[in-house]
Structure 1
């Protein structure tokens, strides 16, 4: 398994009337013909073994169960359609005696559309509004800060150093992809990670607290990537 970035579309495929009308060979053959007809090339046809699953599954971003492919024992076909412009397209197929699964990814590098809020704005909003919403970049499905995330934390530290009377609660939120337990734990750990980074920047621990809220209280639509990006946030609350 190789990580790729881009737009993802996933679905189950079934036949009206039940599994007795379903044909896995027909499903695979149909997609093989249409993909190769438009220039697609099959690059893998095999099974995901236990060792490979253990290697990648903890780091793979969870994109919801609808059409998920990538479990131990799963037999998958992978195709790629190479394009001069617009990003290559990767297609995964798998199925069983009752239904099929189809995943399509249009490769595209992540584009950051959210700018880092500067310390003076953070300090002003905390003092006047009592709350600030920030978008802090973490490594995929982890609590470690990316370089851009560390820059955002540096701005928070500078804001707190500018007003020694400010104390804040750090509230972590993520999108709804993943189980409730996973989301809760990840949001708590990310909020705590920001707290520890601030302490490392000489902010007194007594001025800080952290809480995680999982996917609760969304500010964006979780049905779109843009909305989920808004929900992956950190809120600073004046105490």
Structure 2
């Protein structure tokens, strides 16, 4: 009987040790410097990607976030104080408000928010589940995707000379909008330089979208975006007769629309030589 008791005690000790070891932060993981964890939770998983796309199924506007993505899964340690869904959400909601952030969505177990500072936009998603024993924090620090080809007049000219067209990924719009964003200035300036260096060159400016949303809306949006780019070029001294805008919506993808990264590549403006 004594041997059995000792064996049981040893088993409990070993099981407890293993369980505690499993409740430590995943090796190499750490809290995001912007927002920390709720006390009593450990990091069970962490994923960091230099550039990725997160599409929220919970909101209809500002629901596509692109940039550096950090996903941290938190789990409650055994014996720690338990938190309800609403406690988890309110904790992060208050933290965001202290950083002068804007709440995009706040429900029982889901929070979406954004923080704008020094022209940088950071999006935040918190989703709690398993009665509050687990929750996921996603932080997307918006930044342009690093293009495979540097956006300059020389590379643009090379693409047009060799293929008759070139894709430009440095022109930015808000989701569902057609106004050219200020951070597009570098790309616009290089297109202007290209046209001034080649006074005989005429261009179709063609807008492209991914397959998300309604086809008719995407066709309209791609046309409006292309027209906005033409307008920006004219405002920078290019003759209107040298430019013509058009939109083809999702009809000419360069990658599969089955992945978020593919969708990001398909959302683009192309310059096509016009004769």
TM-score (ref. length: structure 1) = 0.60
Residue deviations 1:2-60 (CA, integer Å, cap 9, x gap): xxx9734659xxxxxxxxxxxxxxxxxxxxxxx9479961449xxxxxxxxxxxxxxx9
Query: What is residue 229 of structure 1 aligned with on the other side?
Result: 264
Query: What is residue 159 of structure 2 aligned with on the other side?
Result: 125
State how far apart, in whole Å, the 2-side matches of 1:92 and 1:181 are. 36
Residue deviations 1:124-161 (CA, integer Å, cap 9, x gap): 32233211111121123211122221221111010000
Matched, 1:167 2:205: no
The answer on whether the counterparts of 1:195 and 1:208 sit within 8 Å (CA) in structure 2 is yes
State how far apart, in whole Å, the 2-side matches of 1:194 and 1:236 are. 11
Matched, 1:77 2:108: yes
Q: Gaps spanning 5+ residues in structure 2: where? A: 1-51, 59-81, 92-103, 113-122, 130-135
Task: Return closer, same or farther for 1:228/1:199 CA change in 2, 3 Å cut-off.
Answer: same
Computing the radius of gyration from Cα coordinates, the structure with the larger value is 2
Matched, 1:200 2:209: no
Matched, 1:112 2:148: no
Q: CA RMSD in A?
A: 3.4
State how far apart, in whole Å, the 1-side matches of 2:206 and 2:128 are. 37
Find runs of 4+ consecutive structure 1 residues off by over 4 angstroms: 8-11, 35-40
Higher strand fraction: Structure 1 or Structure 2?
2
SS at match of 1:219: coil
Task: Return closer, same or farther for 1:178/1:238 CA change in 2, 3 Å cut-off.
Answer: same
Residues 227-236 or 104-113, more deviating: 104-113
How far the C-alpha of 1:110 sits from its partner, in A, is 2.1
State how far apart, in whole Å, the 2-side matches of 1:175 and 1:105 are. 27
The answer on whether the counterparts of 1:8 and 1:105 sit within 8 Å (CA) in structure 2 is no
Q: Gaps spanning 5+ residues in structure 1: where? A: 12-34, 45-59, 61-69, 82-86, 94-103
The answer on whether the counterparts of 2:53 and 2:260 sit within 8 Å (CA) in structure 1 is no
Q: 1:185 aligns with which of 220, 230, 240?
A: 220
Task: Return closer, same or farther for 1:138/1:89 CA change in 2, 3 Å cut-off.
Answer: closer
SS at match of 1:107: strand
